[in-house]
Amino acid sequence: MSNKNKLLRTSNFSESQDLNNIPKSKFKFAQKGKKLHDKAFETKPMSYLHDSWNRFAKNKASIVAGIIILFIGLFAVIEPLVDPRSYVDPIQYPSGFEDSSFALVRPYSPLFKDSGWWDGKEEKTIGEDDYNLLRFTDSNYERVELVEEVDDTFTIGVTEFHTLKYKVNVDSYAVGCKYVTVSAEDYNALVQYEKDNGIYKTEDSIMKPVVNSAEYIEEVGDELILKGLNISTVDGITDQMTNYYNNHQDVYYKLFPKLIDGQYSDTKFSAVLDSNDEPVPIYKTTDTGELVYETDKSGEFKIRVDYFDYFTYVNGFKPYYVFGANQSGQDIYLRLAEGARFSLLLGIGVSLINFIIGLIWGAVSGYYGGNTDLIMERITDIIGNVPTIIIMTIAQIQFTHSTTLEASLGSSGVLILAILLAFVYNGWIGVASTTRMQFYRFKGQEYVLASRTLGARDGRLIFKHILPNAAGTLITSSVLMVPGVIFAESSLSYLGIIDFSSSGISSIGVLLNEGQAASLSQNPHVLLFPALVISLLMISFNLLGNGLRDAFNTTLKGSE
Amino acid sequence: MQDTKETLKYILQRLILMVFTFIIIFVICFILIRLLPLDQATGAGQDPETFYKMQVALGRMYKVGVGEYAKTPVMSQLWTFLKNLFNPATYTATDGTIVTTSRWGYSWKISWLASPADLLTKGFPPTILINLYSMILSIPLGLIAGIYMALKKNKWQDHTMSVIVMLFISVPSFVYAFLLQYLFAFELGWLPAIRADFNGSWFSGEMFASMVLPVLAMSFGSIAGFARYTRAELTEVLTSDFMLLARTKGLSRTQATVRHAFRNSLVPIFPMILGQILALLSGSVIIESIFAVNGVGSLFLNSITMKDYDVFQFVGMFYILIGLVGTLIVDVSYGLVDPRIRMGGRK
């Protein structure tokens, strides 16, 4: 009884009743008179692309990769536009900016100028003559900085030889003084500029006193004859000395042939030092003892200038190279931007063309199947088995020999046509086979059958029903094609199979080729930056492609 | 028995198809290459008289007048070429002896009047050695790395190694080549920067040392490739139903993995390895060029840059043949290794 009471108390029933016999009157239809409809979805509908985008956005690595690609793309487009080097006088620089005086200079960034690296300096261990050559300069910049003196020991047989070597930091931008020939007009402008800035004929002047080496070399010749050398030897030495002064225009002081094994050398010269260990200048002077700053050469002036400052004066910007310079003094930074621009454009362009051709080919082959498919597959088999390298070679030789093509497209146009042909020739096969597979997958499905039964034509089935489903896979495969094309192009131009030399185009592969030619052991910076950029591009494109593949793969939904 | 018969029939079919494909490709390439402008031999020791005499003998040119020659039409060149395959043409040398010409033409630039076949054979030893070393290094390492990653799936080991694998797959092989060359040859000076000939012996210690860098440069990419592939296969196998069954019937995890998972995951990897074995013969052009290996790849590159068309054609066709046979072997071995794959397209 107490149990029942408890039950009654806890239940909502107000009175006790027999649940087995509930009277009919107590029942009523739950939804009587109401209209029953399907409920509207409370969740928002999501399109395939939206869904894919959401999943793509979750993939941090792909986003970063996309940003890097964007960044490189922006760099490639903007850098040539803003760099003053791309606007230099085309008459002075017919093949774009280059200055052989700054050939192979080290990378320099103003942000890192005191940090010990990326400061345009190069650490070297050099002998005394080379050290003196760099140490004694009348230019406005210190060319060399001594780190330490090294005792270089080597043994021949049992004898030990000691030579004093100098471990130094060479500032590769301080190229010293050089002779340049300018018109009278330019000369006057330069003089005016110096006067305006108060540096005319001072220590910091751009124009430096002219060196009178000819007179001095005669003195040396007389001295050597006095030392008992015969005339022809002396003539040989003085000729070489003249050459030496011409090749080392920074040398403003007395040199004397080096005494090697009791013989005066005609190739090695060392500085003549006074009692203070300073070189003895041999500037040209007027009869009144004033320094001469120019030689008049039939209306033109030959002047000796501090080349760094002179360059800055002429071009309006300092000759600093962020990524260093290559062997002909071109700016690697600028060329890399141009190269990346060409490589990216080529990669995207080729992928786009391949995508379109492959799509049509694969769609036809996959949709119709049967004998059509068989024949088309044979054709792709034949085309696909001829390596790009062969087509590239043949196309390039054939096109560059064709005078009609050359006349209508120009030498760079012909080359680009050959490259396009070689990459398009069998590049589309990948897209075609992907498309074909997708068509095989979807064409037998019920919704396609339903549409066909309703009278849809082939075109509608292909473009409306099958292609949208295959879009994800196809987009992924064409994004992944871009790095493939860039890689192939850079390998082929690195190897010299694509010969850009006459066209003036720079691609990353061309820069790699220059890097190889500049000797990896001596000048690694020429190769380093192009290699870095291409690696970065490859990694980013692969990451982006992988991210896209995962994003478009709807079967992965929920399992991540 | 029925199966063997069908397999053989399938292989034969594919073989015939391959031969036809090859012939068509050959004809196309032949025509394209013969249409290229021909340079007269001008190098040292290359007399134009012999050049023209041999061109006439090979059916590529005919005499128009005294010392004047014109090209024969390409199709007739093709016909002569095919005839020469079975019955090589002859010509009379300056000293009066009758010389049989080479079936494959001659190298006019790389090495005057050498047969392209001989040049190719000379290129084999370094290429095969470097590829072989690279294979010996990369297959086990790649498999081990892949297996380790699959076993540690979604743990930090897997994630770090996946990143490394991704990097190695993406970065072009010439970039490693430069890095290795700079680091080990120029900065540290441990190994020679380029492969040099050491008294012609292929197996001396110095020769081996000089091959280390190219082998490493070639291996990184394929190690990463094998690792990624093995990982994908093994993770798939590890999650399959028969692994669950193996565990249920009482095998420990190690037993189940070693006895069932490994062997099954190797099924698709084995054909890949077979494909690599054939590729031993064809050298990587870029790696051989960087490390100055005088192998097949370098020969191909030289024939292109020096416009030595006969060698270019011969080596090019060799690469195409390797490609075709490689695909055939991979396809057929897939069917042989995995009984689930039916060959001959029976559905």
Q: Which pLDDT tens digit goes with each residue over A311-331?
A: 888 888 888 888 888 888 888
- Nearest CA among A232, A233, A255, A231 for reference residue A244: A255
Query: A382 and B28 in contact by Cβ < 8 A?
Result: yes
The answer to whether residue B182 neighbours chain A at the CB level (below 8 Å) is yes
Q: Which of A387, A534, A543 sits opposite B172 (nearest CB)?
A: A534
More confident residue, A133 or B15: B15
Query: B178 and A527 in contact by Cβ < 8 A?
Result: yes
- Global pTM reads 0.84
Q: Which of B24, B35, B175 sits opposite A535 (nearest CB)?
A: B175
CA separation (Å) from A450 to A454, A461, A465, A518, A556? Answer: 6, 10, 11, 66, 27
pLDDT, tens digit (0-9, with 9 covering 90-100), for A429-447: 989 998 998 888 888 888 8
Overall average pLDDT of the A231-254 stretch = 86
Going residue by residue through chain B, which has 347 residues, state the pLDDT in tens, using 9 for 90 and above: 457 788 888 889 889 999 999 999 999 999 988 888 876 656 666 677 777 777 787 778 888 877 777 888 888 888 888 888 887 777 777 677 777 777 788 888 777 778 888 889 888 888 998 899 999 999 999 999 999 999 888 889 989 999 999 999 889 888 988 888 888 888 887 887 776 665 566 777 777 888 888 899 999 989 999 999 999 888 888 888 888 898 899 888 888 888 888 888 888 888 888 888 888 888 788 988 888 888 899 999 999 888 888 899 999 999 999 989 988 888 888 877 777 766 554 43
- Nearest CA among B210, B24, B66, B17 for reference residue B126: B210
The answer to whether residue B318 neighbours chain A at the CB level (below 8 Å) is no
Residues of A in contact with B312 (CB under 8 A): 390, 393
Smallest Cα distance from A381 to chain B, Å: 7
More confident residue, B271 or A2: B271
DSSP E strand stretches across A29-115: none
Tokens of B173: 């092989």
Q: Which of B32, B170, B186, B308 to mutate to test the interface with A (most CBs of A within 10 A)?
A: B170
Reduce the DSSP state of residue A470 to 3 states and report it: helix
- What does the pLDDT read at residue B336? 78
The answer to whether residue A149 neighbours chain B at the CB level (below 8 Å) is no
pLDDT, tens digit (0-9, with 9 covering 90-100), for B240-264: 888 889 889 988 888 888 888 888 8
Overall average pLDDT of the A113-122 stretch = 80
Residue A5 predicted with pLDDT over 60: no
Contact between A535 and B170 under an 8 Å Cβ cutoff? The reply is yes
Confidence tier at A269 by pLDDT (50, 70, 90) = confident
The answer to whether residue A386 neighbours chain B at the CB level (below 8 Å) is yes
Residues of A in contact with B320 (CB under 8 A): 385-387, 390
Residues of A in contact with B167 (CB under 8 A): 539
The answer to whether residue B167 neighbours chain A at the CB level (below 8 Å) is yes
Distance CA(A424)–CA(A24), nearest Å, equals 82
Which segments of chain B does DSSP mark as H helices, in order? 2-34, 48-57, 74-86, 116-151, 156-170, 173-180, 205-238, 241-248, 253-256, 262-279, 285-290, 296-305, 309-337
- Nearest CA among B221, B79, B61, B252 for reference residue B142: B221
* Three-class HEC string of B272-335: HHHHHHHHCCCCCHHHHHHCCCCCHHHHHHHHHHCCCHHHHHHHHHHHHHHHHHHHHHHHHHHH
Q: Which neighbouring-strand residues pair with A145?
A: A169
Gap between the terminal Cα atoms of chain A: 58
Chain B residue nearest residue A486, CA to CA: B172
More confident residue, A6 or A63: A63
- Nearest CA among A273, A224, A274, A214 for reference residue A245: A214
CA separation (Å) from B153 to A114, B31, B231, B260? Answer: 47, 53, 9, 18
Smallest Cα distance from A94 to chain B, Å: 27
The answer to whether residue B301 neighbours chain A at the CB level (below 8 Å) is yes
Tokens of A191: 């003089």
Percent of chain A at pLDDT above 70?
96
- What does the pLDDT read at residue A348? 93
Query: B37 and A397 in contact by Cβ < 8 A?
Result: yes
Tokens 């005078």, residue located: A403
Query: B169 and A542 in contact by Cβ < 8 A?
Result: yes
ipTM for this prediction: 0.86
Chain A residue nearest residue B184, CA to CA: A521
The answer to whether residue B185 neighbours chain A at the CB level (below 8 Å) is yes
Query: A387 and B319 in contact by Cβ < 8 A?
Result: yes
Chain A residue nearest residue B162, CA to CA: A543
Chain A residue nearest residue B291, CA to CA: A516
- What does the pLDDT read at residue B321? 92
pLDDT-wise least confident of A249-253, A330-334, B44-48: B44-48
- What does the pLDDT read at residue A15? 55
The answer to whether residue B300 neighbours chain A at the CB level (below 8 Å) is yes
Query: B171 and A538 in contact by Cβ < 8 A?
Result: yes
Query: B172 and A490 in contact by Cβ < 8 A?
Result: yes
- What does the pLDDT read at residue B347? 37
Confidence tier at A16 by pLDDT (50, 70, 90) = low
Query: A520 and B186 in contact by Cβ < 8 A?
Result: yes
Smallest Cα distance from A497 to chain B, Å: 6
Half-sphere exposure of B111 (CA within 13 A, CB side): 10
The mean of the pLDDT values for chain A is 84
Query: A516 and B290 in contact by Cβ < 8 A?
Result: yes
More confident residue, A516 or B48: A516
Residues of A in contact with B21 (CB under 8 A): 378, 381-382, 385
Tokens of B330: 């991979």
- Which residues between 519 and 558 in chain A have a beta carbon less than 8 angstroms from any beta carbon of chain B? 520-521, 524, 527, 531, 534-535, 538-539, 541-543, 546
Residues of A in contact with B171 (CB under 8 A): 535, 538-539
pLDDT, tens digit (0-9, with 9 covering 90-100), for A82-114: 888 888 877 778 777 888 888 888 888 888 877
More confident residue, B59 or A425: A425
Confidence tier at A559 by pLDDT (50, 70, 90) = low
The answer to whether residue A497 neighbours chain B at the CB level (below 8 Å) is yes
The dihedrals phi and psi of A449, each to the nearest 5 degrees, come to -60, -45
